[in-house]
Copies of this chain bind each other. A is one copy, B any other.
Amino acid sequence: MLKRISGEDIDQLEKRFRTNLINSLSGFKSANLIGTIDKEGNTNLAVFSSVIHFGANPPLLGMLSRPNSVDRHTYENIKATGYYTINHIHKDFYSKAHQTAARYPREVSEFDGAGLTPEFSGNIAAPYVAESAIKMGLSLVEEHKIAANDTILLVGQLKELFLNEEILGSDGFLDLEKAESVCISGLDSYHQTERLNRLPYAKP
């Protein structure tokens, strides 16, 4: 027997409890670090759990920004330069990645705060995370203000991609498990994965 919680019940929940609960509902989330730089050359790095696939042709990824939170520097930098990087978080540095969520002042780079290494390709005005084995450089192509809560959806197009060839399958599938990419549940729980199966294309 499942417990029912109504919309009105949710409104009455204690703030921290509600935040944990609602953040758990969507299921497991991608775990990425977004790298940006401002016009003065200050690098910024922030953990995001909202990056999703938006389309393969053209190659697009989306993510949600809360401009009034610690995401603010990320958003401002993307608006200023037009570029950002998405870097997978792996098992061997997920604790460092989580540390980028702390509220550092603009002049302190989260790369330094978290102990991660910025790396530039020369093609994109944004820093990559040297420790990551799957990283993407994107240009901002579209943004949508979400009226319901003042968040901003950012859609970016892939400009370049760096990956460990050992995880690239002959059909284009990336073995994220072999790369030890992690996923997130709720606000603060990190998980590794174990493959159940790859399923064939579904037909009626």
Bound CA–CA A204/B18 (angstroms): 25
Encoded as 1 (CB less than 8 Å from any B CB) or 0, chain A from 142 to 154 comes to 1010111101010
**How many chain A residues have a CB neighbour from B under 8 Å?**
111
A155 within 8 A of B: yes
Please state if B53 and A50 are interface contacts (CB–CB under 8 Å).
Answer: yes
- Closest residue of B by beta carbon distance from A51: B26
Closest beta carbon of chain B to A59's beta carbon, Å:
5
A102 within 8 A of B: yes
Encoded as 1 (CB less than 8 Å from any B CB) or 0, chain A from 116 to 143 comes to 0000010000000000011110000110
Please state if A147 and B136 are interface contacts (CB–CB under 8 Å).
Answer: no
**CB interface residues, A 13-56, toward B, < 8 Å:** 13, 15-32, 49-56
A64 within 8 A of B: yes
By a CB distance below 8 angstroms, the chain B residues around A28 are: 28-31, 176, 181-183, 193
Please state if A30 and B31 are interface contacts (CB–CB under 8 Å).
Answer: no
By a CB distance below 8 angstroms, the chain B residues around A196 are: 91, 94, 182, 190-192
> Contact check: which of B60, B61, B144, B202 meets A100 at CB < 8 Å?
B202
By a CB distance below 8 angstroms, the chain B residues around A22 are: 53, 55-57, 59, 158
Counting every copy of the chain, the complex holds 2
A113 within 8 A of B: yes
> Contact check: which of B146, B164, B189 meets A173 at CB < 8 Å?
B189
Please state if B171 and A20 are interface contacts (CB–CB under 8 Å).
Answer: yes
Closest beta carbon of chain B to A18's beta carbon, Å:
6
A76 within 8 A of B: no
Other A-B pairs, 17, CB within 8 Å; known A54-B146, A148-B157: A4-B161, A6-B160, A7-B59, A20-B174, A25-B59, A25-B134, A28-B181, A54-B148, A54-B151, A55-B149, A95-B199, A174-B186, A188-B200, A190-B195, A190-B196, A190-B199, A192-B193
